[in-house]
Structure 1
Amino acid sequence: MQQQDGHKEAFVLEVHRRLSEVYGTAIKYFHDLDPMSELVSALLSHRTKNSNSGKAFGNLKITFGSWEAVRDAPTNEVEAAISPCTWPEQKAPRIQQVLRIISEIRNELSLDFLADMEVAEARRWLEALPGVGPKTSAAVMSFSTLRAKALPVDSHHFRVAVRLGIIEAKIGEAKAHRILEDLLPATFSAQEVYDNHQVMMRHGQRVCTHFQPDCNHCVLLDICPTGQSIVGNDGKG
């Protein structure tokens, strides 16, 4: 059941409050990459486990030493370095293409200039690059040392939001980013927006899992139509 528009903001805030009591607030950022490095990391992470994309990222740094060297290297060598991630044969030329474009536009391989732009403008700039969508632009702005106010939405976050009735599954993850971000209080700081991403993601990983969600131990059960349906059906069995 979809939440009524007039109540969504309050509902989303209540979900955030409950999950924050479980998973915490002022959650520590998981790394301190500059925005250029975060962009490469995000491009490697597409449809890849964090551990594997992390290995691929580390291999690039160790093998080439700089993003300029990655840009100018033979593509097959870049592909070999990022082999731990999925589709290295696609990601290697794409990453080099992105690095070349940034070099041509900025005359350097740095995205530090994004700090001087409004978040929405910076995200539009990033999303004009090949292979960069809302999730990647949000990751660069939020996860990097920019620490900007942007909400990444991964598959776990998206699943929890759909099951709660905040959004419909047909919207898709790409459009969900802006919708879910706009439902957060305008007064939220960048840290609080990051916390929202983290608590929703962690809940999807630990409780509201893809298969066999643990609805009976979910702090959102009484306000989750999907959970109530699952528990009700289990009871009938």
Structure 2
Amino acid sequence: MPLFPDTIRPDEPRRRRREAPTAPSEPLKDKALEIYRRLCGVYECPIPYFHSLDPLSELISSLLSHRTRNADSGRAFKALRARWPDWAMVEEAGVAEIEETIRGVTWPELKAPRIKAVLSAVRDRVGSLTLDFLAAMSVDEARGWLEAIPGIGPKTSAAVLSFSTLRMPALPVDSHHHRVAQRTGLIGPKVDVGPSHAVLRAQLPDDWSAQALYDNHEVLMLHGQRVCFHRSPACDRCVLLDICPTGQVRVAKAAGRT
């Protein structure tokens, strides 16, 4: 019998177009904690926060980072701040000027008007360009407030709450995190990144701190970047191999056993 019998195997039939999130079983919760424990041992939790931006600045940074390497989105963010030290100035700037300033990111032609629209939406709803008031809300309330703005989804809302100076207990899920979760069987093959936020958060203790949730995201993301690659994952040096159905299938195929 496998160590975690509720794991979703990669070779199971895909009967539905998209799997609906369900309440996690105790074995699945146990597996999520075991993955966290092992990866924290490898990547040395607690992991220092990489940003200390105010929440509005973190929102702009998150919008720039979509489908873009961290180094490129970081340069684009710094370029924006160097050219316009105040977000109100960005709100008033022309789309073409913003696009030129962030040209190093993926899809600058889409991100430039979106940044302007998001800043205007914040001003319309708040009366000023600040998101500091989110600190007084619960995580669910704050995420709901953010996601009511067109162009802001679960990943961005969670990133703003977790990565910014708010330091709220939200769980972001990026593409690396999502890939590791799918391959290890924490989520099924048809659970997209957006819906996976609620599924993966439900597998972790309700009372976890912001630091613990940040660490959980970071270790799965780092594992995806350094071991569980999109192509040719390094299963031979993965500390999760014995509890990873995808890795076990790949190793068995490589050995000619299937």
TM-score (norm 1): 0.97
Is the counterpart of residue 91 in structure 1 residue 97 in structure 2? no
Q: How far apart in 2 are the matches of 1:235 and 1:125? A: 51
Structure 1: which 4+ aligned runs deviate by more than 4 Å? none
Q: Which residue of 1 aligns with 2:211?
A: 191
Instruction: Quote the offset at 1:187 in angstroms.
Output: 2.7
* 1:40 alignment partner, SS class: helix
CA distance in 1, matches of 2:207, 2:38: 18
The secondary structure found in structure 2 opposite 1:170 is coil
1:100 matched to which residue of 2? 120
1:232 paired residue number: 252
State the match for 1:26 in structure 2: 46
Structure 2 Cα separation of the partners of residues 230 and 101 of structure 1: 47
Q: Residue 54 of structure 1 aligns to a residue in which SS?
A: helix
Letter in 1 for 2:124: E
Matched, 1:160 2:166: no
Long gaps (5+) in structure 1? none
Please give the secondary structure, in 2, of the residue aligned with 1:167: coil
State how 1:3-152 maps to structure 2 within 5 Å: 5-152=25-172
Once the two structures are TM-superposed, the CA of residue 5 in structure 1 deviates from its matched residue by 2.6
**Separation (CA, whole Å) in 2 of partners of 1:113 and 1:86:** 31
Give the root-mean-square deviation of aligned CA atoms.
1.2
| Alpha-carbon distance in 2 for matches of 1:169, 1:177 | 14
Greater helix fraction, Structure 1 or Structure 2: 1
C-alpha deviation, 1:107, in angstroms: 1.2
Q: Count the aligned residue pairs.
A: 237
One-letter code of the match for 1:81?
Answer: T
CA–CA distance in structure 1, aligned partners of residues 77 and 92 of structure 2: 17
Gaps of 5+ in 2: 1-6, 10-23
Paired position in structure 2 for 1:2: 8
Q: Distance in 1 between matches of 2:207 and 2:166?
A: 19
Partners of 1:133 and 1:169 in 2: how far apart?
20
Q: TM-score, normalised by structure 2?
A: 0.89
